[in-house]
């Protein structure tokens, strides 16, 4: 199994969940230190490989795929989890505003395409690709237009690839998490509070009040969804964007 963005947040929880099931893991991240800490913490280090890889770099991704192919690796599960999240207000006067906007599209969508293309020759029939979207891929929010657009694009990509890869017997689905207590989510919450001139605690209470089950989820709370989508039990599912949000977004 190949997992991107493995060093923190949801990625770290997924690494632990799949390791507990005995999966052989190839963990990717841009930060070497976080990968090393994660590998040391996993219960089955003999089944864990790590690689520092910038998914925005064609050469690095191509080299990774070539190394895996030379090792005779098979990618039964690919989880495209890596991504970025930061505000991009449309009226920003920052000189790099458009570069930041385009950067989110590249980090959250184009890099996903780049890696999936590179690893496709290593995926057998029955393989499962799981793309990380968000509930903001099903709705909208002020000041985060680039992130929201990227997560909508992930769902569109997922649905298109589900048709495109069906002939190879490869399933493609997306997961749309709601508010998960990760560093990235908490930074977004802080940004929203700053933009609105309110406290973070107040913003959090308001966000959670929109949920049927009002609680901030932990990364480990949603790991079972990915385990299911990777399993043979999910064989009939492809092209789906599964929302995991304590009922904040339904459907």
The whole-angstrom separation of Cα 125 and Cα 175 is 21
Angle between helices 9-20 and 32-41 (to 10 degrees): 30
- Report DSSP state, residue 107: I
Encoded tokens for 41: 């913490």
CB of 31 closer than 8 Å to CB of 57:
no
CA distances from 2 to 5, 35, 46, 71, 114 (A): 10, 13, 15, 14, 14
CA distances from 241 to 85, 89, 97, 203 (A): 19, 26, 30, 27
Q: What is the largest CA-CA distance in the chain?
A: 55
- Annotated active-site residue in 136, 147, 179, 226: 147
Coil/strand/helix, residue 49: strand
Encoded tokens for 225: 């969804």
End-to-end CA distance of the chain: 28
Distance from the Cα of residue 10 to its chain's centroid: 8
Query: For this structure, is 147 an active site residue?
Result: yes
Which residues, at least 6 apart from 178, have a Cβ–Cβ distance to it below 8 Å?
A: 134, 135, 211, 217, 243, 244, 245, 246, 248, 249
- By annotation, the residues acting in catalysis are 147
């Amino acid at each position: 199994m190949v997992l991107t963005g493995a060093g923190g947040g949801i990625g770290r929880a997924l690494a632990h969940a799949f390791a507990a099931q005995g999966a052989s893991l190839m963990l990717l991240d841009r930060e070497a230190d976080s990968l090393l800490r994660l590998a040391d913490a996993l219960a089955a280090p003999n089944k864990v490989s790590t690689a520092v890889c910038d998914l925005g770099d064609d050469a690095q991704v191509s080299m990774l795929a070539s190394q895996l192919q030379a090792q005779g690796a098979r990618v039964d599960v690919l989880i495209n989890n890596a991504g970025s999240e930061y505000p991009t207000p449309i009226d920003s006067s920052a000189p790099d505003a458009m570069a930041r906007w385009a950067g989110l599209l590249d980090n959250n969508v184009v890099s996903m395409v780049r890696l999936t293309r590179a690893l496709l020759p290593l995926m057998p029939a029955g393989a499962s690709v799981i793309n990380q979207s968000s509930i903001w891929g099903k709705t909208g929010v002020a000041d985060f237009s680039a992130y929201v657009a990227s997560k909508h694009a992930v769902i569109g990509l997922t649905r298109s690839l589900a048709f495109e890869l069906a002939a190879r017997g490869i399933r493609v689905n997306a997961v749309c998490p709601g508010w998960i207590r990760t560093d990235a989510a908490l930074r977004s919450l802080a940004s929203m509070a700053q933009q609105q001139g309110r406290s973070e605690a107040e913003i959090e209470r308001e966000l959670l009040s929109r949920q049927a089950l009002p609680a901030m989820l932990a990364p480990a709370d949603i790991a079972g969804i990915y385990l299911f989508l990777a399993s043979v039990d999910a064989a009939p599912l492809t092209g789906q964007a599964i929302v995991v949000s304590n009922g904040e977004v339904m459907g």
